[in-house]
Amino acid sequence: MNLYAFKSDNGYLKIAQDGSYTLVGINKASVYDDSRLDSLKDQLTALKPELKNLRIVKLVLEEEDYFWA
């Protein structure tokens, strides 16, 4: 599964309902599926002047059994 997030030189973005954002670690970042990719590109254009080296990153989620009790 692919998920997408915004990342700048200072961290990942957690985007609030009102459109404001906070820089956070990957475990708190806002993530989006493939269906939102076009709107993420529009948001990137709008936010890029505010954040150094802002980009969209693809996070590849892989599930595997890790531990059996």
Best CA proximity match to 48, nearest among 7, 5, 14, 4: 7
54 domain-assigned: yes
Between 27 and 68, whose confidence is greater?
27
13 domain-assigned: yes
68 domain-assigned: no
pTM: 0.87
Place of tokens 């599930």: 63
At 57, the pLDDT band (50, 70, 90 cuts) reads very high
At 68, the pLDDT band (50, 70, 90 cuts) reads confident
How far apart, in whole angstroms, are the C-alpha atoms of residue 48 and residue 28? 20
Cα–Cα distances in angstroms (integers) from residue 65 to residues 48, 68, 69, in the given order: 39, 8, 11
65 domain-assigned: no
Domain count of the fold of the chain: 1
Place of tokens 């609030």: 16
